[in-house]
Chains A and B, each alone.
Chain A
Amino acid sequence: VDYVRSVDYLMYGLICVVLAPPAAVFRTLQWDTDPSALQLQADSELGRRMHRLGASKIVQIDFVPKELVTYTKETQTPSAAHQSEEEEEDEESSELKASPQTDQPEEEGEAEDSKEAHPRELTEEEREQILHSEDFLVFFERSVSVVERALAEEGDIFFDYSGRDLEDKEGDMQGGSNLSFNRVFHDDHWSKHRVVTCLDWSPQYPELMVASYNSNEDAPHEPDGIALVWNMKFKKTTPEYTFHCQSSVMSVGQIVLWDNRSHRRTPVQRTPLSAAAHTHPVYCVNVVGTQNANNLITVSTDGKMCSWSLDMLSQPQESMELVYNKSKPVAVTGMAFPAGDVNNYVVGSEEGMVYSASRHGSKAGIAEMFEGHQGPVTGISCHNAVGTVDFSHLFITSSFDWTVKLWSIKHNKPLYSFEDNADYVYDVSWSPVHPALFASVDGMGRLDLWNLNNDTEVPTASVTIEGACALNRVRWASGGREVAVGDSEGRVWIYDVGELAVPHPEDWSHFARTLVEIRANRGDGEEEGAVELPA
């Protein structure tokens, strides 16, 4: 019993006893005055106390970890057959710059090391042997290429102007016209009856571009897929290099790599057809990264994205299924990376949706869906002109639904829809230098240049290419002054873009204002909250 502080005699015979131990905890005991029933009811006190016990709230601590994105780059020593390629350290194709020291291919030169002091007549057998030897072929090819160029240049005064207009290459052309025809690349042997599937300009040599073609139905014994490298600088009409491979390029799900340094026409590396790589047609290929640390990213129509190291194509470095909302894979038809980004990208799909995705990080895979097109997305291009204002969140898409749409990564509905076309729009591409300029091509043979600072309703410049049926691909040259267009007949048309293509410093702020106007005119607030790509 603790210290009794006071006792009070209450009515009804109850005594209230107040206890006050030094710790100042109060307990109240109630005694019944009837002596026979005089018992401490404190025992039930414990029971009551036990019943007062309960669980408290859960206290939690949560410190979020810092996300470390890591990459691994593996290289695999290739098998012996490729050792010869490894020995060439100089990446530049020195053949292009080799001084033409021979006027004529000297077949007799090979025979100099014969026993006779003076050259003798070669036998037929020896001749054949030399003509087919590897060294000779290399030499011959190189010389032929140089001679062809020389011949083409010298023939300037006898130049045949039909179909070609090459003189006005510098400065202003023909009274300020915006789109003027430059030349067409077409090879009767190789590119006839083949559809141009892809175009790209060389980052190292701005005058070089490569075009890939799919199979030639008329010539089944020819290789299925070819890629031709065309040179803009010289006027010769044949491709610089020709590459071919067995399967139609961009049709079966393999990646093949041709090395310009080697003198073989067949691929030096190819990826295997395996479940780890692609089993469906590969529609998009992109090289991202810097010169030294780069990856080849490929996406196929079954929604699989693989990242490859160019040193080792035997298996992908990483692969990922692009699935939206954990349900169905995305059938990808186009892919684009924003300028300077190697992690986040956007893809267009067959259903007409556009998705944003990331390669690495906690949110790797499909992030957001952008709705707007009513037909398969045929082309997608991210803004990449660098200037005073950052527009890298913008991208444009083209689709079978006759429209080109402008999007921002931050909103999952289009910012603007360009509806000037009357046929499937097959491809679209931002200018690399002008912030408000992009090109689009459609199935009626039309090439349009849109300058959004000028007009957003109609293209600023437009040309219908005569003799072309449907235009498949459009790509800007790295300087932004020329556009290459590929068509369904295997021709590559080069067009010069005039003053329109030259950006002025105020074009960036003008475009920012244009964007604000576009957003303001979007009307019935279709925004569904800012949707941001993980950084």
Chain B
Amino acid sequence: RYCCSPATITVLHAFVFVSCQTAFVVDEVSTIIKESVEGAIGGNAYQHSRVNQWTTNVVEQSLSQLSKLGKPFKYIVTCVIMQKNGAGLQTASSCFWDNTTDGSCTVRWENKSMYCIVSVFGLAI
């Protein structure tokens, strides 16, 4: 017969509860990204002189918001801004990690003059 003391059960519950707090939550990250992008380039048209600043802003803003989440993750954020000129763009990415704890999130944003693609990879520490 196996009998658990109440303390054990509390511990086990705590374990499950906390692990939810420390997983990579795609929706949460996606919201952060969208806000960062909107804040940095929303309403602007593509301008070569300002694009560098924009990509930097997006990445910095995203990263700071992500770290404020306080989760035990290493983050990698990439941002691509492409002018809408008729060219095509194809990319692909994959990761070798712990599928249970690690995760990624890609956000595609566009307006009339440009595309913006932001990818975030979160690796559990």
Contacts and interface: CB of A to CB of B under 8 A. Distances in A.
Contacts of A68: 86
Interface stretch (A46-54, A194-202, A306-314, A398-406): A46-54
Interface string B85-125: 01111111111111110101010100000010101000011
Given A10-B8, A23-B72, A55 B100 contact: no
Interface in A8-25: 8, 10-11, 16, 18, 23-25
Interface in B51-109: 72, 82, 86-100, 102, 104, 106, 108
Contacts of B94: 55-59
Contacts of A23: 72, 125
B125 A8 contact: no
A157 interface: no
Contact of A58 (B3, B11, B92, B102): B92
Contact of A60 (B11, B91, B125): B91
A63 interface: yes
A66 interface: yes
Interface string B1-36: 011110110010001001101100000000000000
A117 interface: no
Interface in A56-97: 56-66, 68
Nearest to A52: B98
A16 B100 CA distance: 23
Contact of B22 (A6, A24, A59): A24
Contacts of A161: none
Given A56-B96, A56-B97, A59-B104, A8 B117 contact: no
B108 to A, nearest CB: 7
A73 to B, nearest CB: 22
What DSSP secondary structure best describes chain A's contact surface?
A: mixed
Interface residues of B, number: 38
A61 B96 contact: no
A26 interface: yes
Nearest to B15: A26
Contacts of B106: 59, 61
B14 to A, nearest CB: 8
B8 A63 contact: no
A59 B97 contact: no
A58 B92 CA distance: 6
Contacts of A61: 89-92, 106, 108, 117
A61 B117 CA distance: 9
B9 to A, nearest CB: 10
B15 to A, nearest CB: 6
Contact of A11 (B3, B72, B93, B96): B3
19 contacts: A11-B2, A11-B3, A16-B11, A23-B125, A24-B18, A25-B72, A26-B19, A53-B98, A53-B99, A55-B95, A56-B95, A56-B96, A59-B92, A59-B119, A60-B91, A63-B87, A64-B88, A65-B87, A68-B86
Interface of A: 6, 8, 10-11, 16, 18, 23-26, 49, 52-66, 68
Given A18-B11, A60-B90, 13 more contacts: A6-B7, A6-B11, A8-B8, A16-B8, A24-B72, A25-B72, A26-B19, A56-B104, A59-B119, A60-B92, A63-B87, A63-B88, A66-B86
The 6 closest A-B pairs by CB, nearest first: A65-B88, A66-B86, A23-B72, A56-B95, A61-B91, A63-B89
